Amino acid sequence: MVFVMNSHTKTNSMTSYSPEVQHMHDLLEQQKAAYQRYPVPTAKERIERLARLKKVLVKYQDQFADAINQDYGNRSISETKIGELLTCLEQIKYYSKHLTAWMKPSKRHVSMLHQPGKAWVQYQPLGVIGIIAPWNYPLLLSVGPLICALAAGNHAMLKISSSSSQFGYVLENALSEAFPQELVAVVNGGGQISDAFSHLAFDKIIFTGSTNVGKTVMSAAAENLVPVILELGGKSPVIVHPSSDLKLVAERIAFGKLWNAGQTCVAPDYMFLPKGKTAEFIDSFKEIATAMYPTLRDNQDYTSIINDKQYNRIQGYLEDARQQGAQFTEINPNHEDLTAVRKIAPTFLTGVLPTMDIMKNEIFGPVLPIMEYDQIDDVIDFINGRPRPLALYYFDFDNARAEYVSQRTHSGHFGQNAVLTHVAQDDLPFGGVGASGMGKYHGPEGFFGLSHERSVMSIPKLFSLKFILAPYDKPLNKILEKTFLR
């Protein structure tokens, strides 16, 4: 039972929560109280907290990888350690190196009329950060925002996806070894727990997930005027210039599309090739993909689709495309039946139409629709006529042409001759624009985005404004008008 104030009637009322939801409320109150007792940890303390986090990440790395593998049914252990764990460890190094400088006040200009005053901006921790992590990269997308939160001096509560239940319990054990719950806490579970978490009165929420769920989270957060960082999805297009080496393009697209079986928010989602180049590209891709994954069914390097819901969703897109006349090219070297292991062979779709479900929804799987083009401006118009994507990839070593495309489109990230790798760049901000998200983390933006940029002004004993205050017929007022009001 919790005693709350009804915001509409301004009267007190009693609200009953389930024990699990009540526990979340209690955790938040504990963290807020702990923050108020010590609101500004020093740089040394923040770096020590990051060191504690690093220690348990390294200690539990095998348990993390095994748990994520169990949640997926089959998830490449190497991809977990390289794509998630290593990226987190590098982020810890980066923030530990830079946070001391970022914490320093930033001096600001004071106008002549207010001299000899001083002004600056100080960077305060916000308080308690709510982190809502998805299932596709559960370690990176929970611990990554946590690193930013700790570097900025905050406390944090992490909500782990119910589709990552095995991982969630390992993370809860690991972080409880490193931190008291009043500093960092993990919340597991789905249903009402997920819904209630986004209604909590955090000082900021970081959500990673689909656009539809992002809207729900933002609406819930608005009840308490909680600001949000939303890292959403979107259909990230690839454009290939006619001058490009298609073998090079195929190699890089194969990495980006087949890593985690395409279950990546910035994976290439659909592709524009110069007219007449599709067959050559597919042949190159097939050669590269077969070398990477000579078998699929029992290949531990080739990841399964996370669960039946996601598997059936992708199969539904494929069936809809088939009924509307799309042509399929599947890369399954040994013609294996993959149904029982929830794997989907790398698949190309040609002859696609904008009316197809697969062209209207983020795919999140190893399926790539291909369209051909004559004029680059037609491609730009196509992309600009749709919701702004999380990433846009352009293959061309001519920087002027790349700049042309970059300046005429909007996306969270613009990648030239590379896909996915920007997420692992510590000094680059990460986030979307429009329907693909708002706000950024990683890089300096991760620190400042989770800090309160508080303006401060100090006036000494000499108060210069008094010389121009009423009565306004003094000579200095006339000089002011003649000099500045012109």
Q: Is residue 50 part of a domain?
A: yes
**Is residue 324 in some structural domain?**
yes
Closest C-alpha to 87, from 161, 163, 45, 145: 145
CB 253 within 8 A of CB 369: no
What's the one-letter identity of residue 238?
V
Contact assessment for residue 272 and residue 371, using Cβ atoms and an 8 Å cutoff:
yes
The percent of residues in the chain predicted with pLDDT above 70, rounded, is 97
Answer yes or no: is 472 within a domain. Answer: no
Same domain, 48 and 160: yes
Structure-token pair, residue 343: 């794997």
Beta bridge partners of 198: none
pLDDT at 14 over 70: no
Same domain, 289 and 172: no
Task: State how far the Cα of 337 lies from the Cα of 260, in Å rounded to an integer.
Answer: 19
User: Do 27 and 136 lie in a common domain?
Assistant: yes
Q: 246 is in which domain, residue-wise?
A: 237-430
Q: Do residues 241 and 222 share a domain?
A: no
Unique residue bearing structure tokens 């080496």:
245
Question: How confident is the model at residue 17, as a pLDDT?
Answer: 85
Amino acid identity at 466: K
Percent of the chain past pLDDT 90, that is, above it, reads 91
Six token digits for residue 339: 């149904």
User: For residues 196 and 24, is the Cβ–Cβ distance under 8 A?
Assistant: yes
Confidence of residue 2 (pLDDT cuts 50, 70, 90): very low
11 compared with 67, residue with greater pLDDT: 67
Give the pLDDT of residue 467.
Answer: 87
Structure-token pair, residue 142:
């929970």
Largest CA distance in the chain: 93
Mean pLDDT of 35-54: 98
CA nearest to 450, candidates 179, 131, 182 = 131
Q: Are residues 195 and 268 in the same domain?
A: no
In a domain, 6, yes or no: no
**No. of H helices and E strands in the chain?**
16, 18
pLDDT digits (tens, 9 = 90+) for 293-332: 999 999 999 999 999 999 999 999 999 999 999 999 999 9
Indicate the pLDDT class of residue 100, thresholds 50, 70 and 90: very high
Task: List, in sequence order, every residue forming a beta bridge with 350; answer none if it has no partner.
Answer: 327
Average pLDDT of the segment spanning 203-213:
96
Residue 474 within a domain? no
**Taking residues 48-68, what's their average pLDDT?**
98
DSSP per position, 296-334: -TT-TTSPPPSSHHHHHHHHHHHHHHHHTT-EEEE--TT
Tell me which residue has tokens 């990477």.
292
Compute how many other C-beta atoms are within 10 angstroms of the C-beta atom of residue 456.
11
The H-assigned helical ranges of 293-452 are: 308-323, 376-384, 399-407, 443-449
Q: Are residues 397 and 372 in the same domain?
A: yes
Q: Are residues 176 and 252 in the same domain?
A: no
C-alpha dist (Å) from residue 446 to 102, 313, 450 = 11, 33, 6
Residue bearing the bigger pLDDT, 403 or 18? 403
pLDDT at 189: 93
Residues 104 and 228 occupy one common structural domain: yes
Spot the catalytic one: 84, 265, 362, 445: 265
Cα(297)–Cα(332) distance, integer angstroms: 10
Are both 55 and 124 inside the same structural domain?
A: yes
Give the 3-state secondary structure of residue 4.
strand
Q: In which band, very low, low, confident or very high, does the pLDDT at 337 lie, cut at 50, 70 and 90? A: very high
Q: For the residues 267-285, what does the mean pLDDT come to?
A: 98
Q: Are residues 135 and 264 in the same domain?
A: no
Specify the pairing of strand 236-240 against strand 347-350.
Answer: unpaired
Tally of domains within the chain:
2
Q: With 80 as the cut, is the pLDDT of residue 4 above it?
A: no
Do 247 and 209 lie in one domain? The reply is: no
Indicate whether 301 belongs to any domain. Answer: yes
Separation between Cα atoms, residue 227 and residue 151, nearest integer Å: 19
Please say if 45 is a catalytic residue: no
Among 134, 137, 162, which residue's Cα sits nearest to residue 84?
Answer: 137
Kindly state the DSSP code that residue 51 receives in the 8-state scheme: H
Rg (CA), the chain: 26
Q: How many CB atoms lie within 10 A of CB 367?
A: 24
- Position 16 confidence tier, pLDDT thresholds 50, 70, 90: confident
Q: Determine, yes or no, domain membership for 61.
A: yes
481 assigned to some structural domain: no
Render pLDDT for 413-454 as a digit per residue (tens, 0 to 9). Answer: 999 999 999 999 999 999 999 999 999 999 999 999 999 999
Would you state the pLDDT for residue 7?
Answer: 37
Is the per-residue pLDDT at 3 higher than 50?
A: no
| CB distance 93 to 424 below 8 Å | no
372-393: pLDDT as tens digits: 999 999 999 999 999 999 999 9
One domain, residues 143 and 290: no
Active site residue 88: no
Burial (Cβ within 10 Å: 0-12, 13-18, ≥19) of residue 230: buried
Q: Please say whether the beta carbons of 475 and 467 come within 8 A.
A: no
Give the domain CATH number at 31: 3.40.605.10
Given 79, 231, 362, 445, the catalytic residue? 231
Dump pLDDT digits (tens) for 225-267. 999 999 998 899 999 999 999 999 999 999 999 999 999 999 9
Q: Which of 99, 146, 144, 93 is nearest to 123 (CA)?
A: 99
φ/ψ of 182, rounded to 5, equals -75, -10
Q: How far is the C-alpha of 457 from the C-alpha of 124, rounded, in Å?
A: 15
Which domain CATH number covers 322? 3.40.309.10
- pLDDT for res 1: 35
Token representation of residue 356: 């197809």
